[in-house]
């Protein structure tokens, strides 16, 4: 199973992933499901030392070190996990792709974008069971004009990407969750009635994606407010920029200081949504033809050009057909594994509906 995260730099993608992994760490008695780190490129679980490296509680570490956020990632990172239920009942392996936010800033600027990275993005999307779109909730509430919000939150670019993807691959099954991070930072009025006003604004900002999910029967969608640190645990200072180089740049500086012990809010529901709806799609599908899937992958490779240099985990230089065959075999294994846990669907979706506003 693969999940791809999209969002501008600074939107909180990496922090969200670590917060979710910390919330669903093995041994947490508050949750039935757990994310167990795996070694890269194989099915083996990580050793104890490797697991500590991945699941180090960066939030408490940040509090101990002057209370500031750790540095973000400057390259696309794939985190390998296994999902377990009630300890030692493995459901499936998962690849969690944290896509470099800087790519989105230049994706529609031919002079600045990295073509290989762009090709990799669409290949990740075609392989993904779910896409998690990450946007800073504060950006949605700070600006008044909808075009400003879409620009500074990254929604304009993401709306275009998902529209293109739907036009080219309308039959691909996909689950899309819009995650509004840093929900603790918005004014109180946005939080009333379970963040109703914030979610309304998020759906307006990402209206093209919402409509795609409603109109494409192969897509499911929802929106969720999230805070990795929790209410009243962060002090935010906003300073207007006086020397902005361009009106396209964010016109303020936001300085956050962590002042309380982190209490993640809603992070586990990101996984519950992605896993629950992926299982549901597999159950409802009569039986997706693996050969048809392979043809789709081959077409993606032809459209994108030569992708051999993109995949560091593939040894040598396999042909497009070989990459497609391996992808198809992996998809078949994933489906066989996931469908063994059909009984989890109702539980996961019941959990999801408690917090996620679905686009139905």
Over the stretch 4-59, which tens digit does the pLDDT of each residue have?
999 988 888 888 888 888 888 887 778 889 888 887 666 666 666 665 555 555 55
Instruction: Tell me: pLDDT of 298 over 60.
Output: yes
More confident residue, 237 or 348: 348
Question: Residue range 187-211: average pLDDT?
Answer: 96
Whether 240 and 316 have beta carbons less than 8 Å apart is answered as no
Token pair 């950006």 is at which residue?
139
Highest mean pLDDT among 56-65, 82-91, 281-290, 351-360: 351-360
Instruction: Tell me: pLDDT of 100 over 50.
Output: yes
Phi first, then psi: what are they for 312, rounded to 5°?
A: -70, -25
- Is residue 113 classed exposed, middle or buried when 0-12, 13-18 and 19+ CB atoms within 10 A define those classes? middle
318, two tokens: 């396999």
Instruction: Tell me: pLDDT of 223 over 70.
Output: yes
The whole-number pLDDT of residue 64 equals 58
Q: What is the mean pLDDT of the chain?
A: 79
Over the stretch 310-331, which tens digit does the pLDDT of each residue have?
443 344 455 556 666 676 676 6
Q: How far apart are CA 234 and CA 322, in angstroms?
A: 49
3-state secondary structure of 152: helix
Q: How far apart are CA 303 and CA 322, in angstroms?
A: 16
DSSP H or E segment with residue 310: none
Q: How far apart are CA 192 and CA 346, in angstroms?
A: 28
More confident residue, 95 or 341: 95
Whether 33 and 85 have beta carbons less than 8 Å apart is answered as yes
Distances from the Cα of 147 to the Cαs of 99, 144, 182, 248, in angstroms?
A: 24, 9, 21, 12
Question: Residue range 173-188: average pLDDT?
Answer: 94
The whole-number pLDDT of residue 286 equals 47
Q: Alpha helices, DSSP H only, in 266-318?
A: 268-284, 290-304
Residue 45, strand partner residues = 38
3-state secondary structure of 226: coil
The whole-number pLDDT of residue 195 equals 96
Whether 137 and 198 have beta carbons less than 8 Å apart is answered as yes
Token pair 């990450």 is at which residue?
134
Mean pLDDT lowest among 65-74, 235-244, 305-314, 349-358: 305-314
Over the stretch 239-284, which tens digit does the pLDDT of each residue have?
877 776 666 777 777 777 777 777 889 999 999 999 999 888 877 7
Nearest to 298 by CA among 317, 324, 318, 329: 324
Output the DSSP codes for 13-57.
Answer: HHHHHHHHHHHT-TT-TT-SEEEEEB-TTSSPBPPHHHHHHHH--
- What is the band of 3 on the pLDDT scale with cuts at 50, 70, 90? very high
- What is the band of 98 on the pLDDT scale with cuts at 50, 70, 90? confident
Q: Alpha helices, DSSP H only, in the chain?
A: 13-23, 48-55, 58-64, 102-106, 115-127, 137-142, 146-153, 155-168, 192-205, 207-215, 268-284, 290-304, 320-339, 345-355
Q: How far apart are CA 360 and CA 358, in angstroms?
A: 6
DSSP class of residue 157?
A: H
Whether 5 and 132 have beta carbons less than 8 Å apart is answered as yes
Nearest to 314 by CA among 324, 303, 305: 324
Token pair 């709806």 is at which residue?
277
- What is the band of 63 on the pLDDT scale with cuts at 50, 70, 90? low
Whether 27 and 148 have beta carbons less than 8 Å apart is answered as no
Whether 117 and 101 have beta carbons less than 8 Å apart is answered as no
Question: Residue range 288-306: average pLDDT?
Answer: 61
Whether 53 and 137 have beta carbons less than 8 Å apart is answered as no
Q: How far apart are CA 351 and CA 353, in angstroms?
A: 6
Question: Residue range 291-313: average pLDDT?
Answer: 56
Nearest to 132 by CA among 281, 273, 334, 331: 273
- What is the band of 338 on the pLDDT scale with cuts at 50, 70, 90? low
Over the stretch 118-142, which tens digit does the pLDDT of each residue have?
777 878 888 899 999 999 999 999 9
């Amino acid at each position: 199973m693969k999940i791809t995260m999209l969002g501008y730099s600074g939107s909180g993608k990496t922090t969200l992933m670590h917060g979710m992994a910390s919330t669903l760490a093995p041994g947490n008695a508050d949750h039935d499901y757990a994310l167990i780190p795996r070694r890269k490129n194989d099915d083996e679980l990580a050793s104890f030392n490797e697991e500590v490296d991945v699941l180090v509680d960066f939030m408490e570490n940040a509090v101990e070190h002057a209370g500031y956020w750790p540095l973000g990632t400057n390259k696309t990172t794939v985190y390998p996990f296994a999902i377990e239920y009630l300890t030692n009942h493995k459901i499936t392996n998962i690849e969690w792709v944290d896509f470099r936010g800087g790519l989105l800033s230049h994706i529609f600027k031919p002079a600045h974008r990295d073509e290989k990275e762009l090709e990799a993005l669409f290949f990740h999307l075609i392989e993904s069971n779910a896409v998690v779109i990450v946007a800073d909730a504060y950006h949605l509430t700070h600006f008044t004009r909808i075009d400003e919000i879409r620009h500074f939150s990254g929604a304009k670019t993401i709306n275009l990407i998902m529209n293109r993807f739907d036009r080219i691959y309308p039959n691909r099954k996909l689950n899309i969750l819009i995650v509004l991070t840093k929900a603790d930072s918005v004014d109180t009025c946005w939080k009333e009635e379970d963040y109703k006003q914030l979610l309304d604004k998020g759906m307006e900002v990402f209206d093209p994606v919402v409509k795609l999910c409603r109109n494409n029967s192969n897509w499911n969608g929802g929106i969720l407010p999230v805070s990795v640190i929790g209410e009243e645990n962060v002090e935010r200072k906003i300073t207007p920029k006086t020397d902005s180089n361009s009106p396209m740049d964010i016109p303020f500086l936001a300085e956050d200081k962590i002042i309380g012990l982190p209490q993640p809010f809603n992070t586990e529901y990101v996984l519950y949504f992605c896993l629950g709806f992926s299982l549901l799609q597999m159950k409802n599908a009569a039986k997706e033809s693996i050969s048809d899937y392979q043809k789709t992958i081959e077409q993606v490779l032809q459209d994108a050009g030569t992708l051999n240099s993109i995949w560091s985990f593939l040894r040598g230089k396999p042909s497009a057909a070989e990459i497609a065959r391996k992808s198809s075999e992996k998809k078949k294994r994933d489906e066989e594994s996931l469908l063994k846990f059909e009984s989890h669907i109702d539980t996961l979706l019941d959990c999801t509906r408690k917090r996620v506003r679905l686009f139905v």
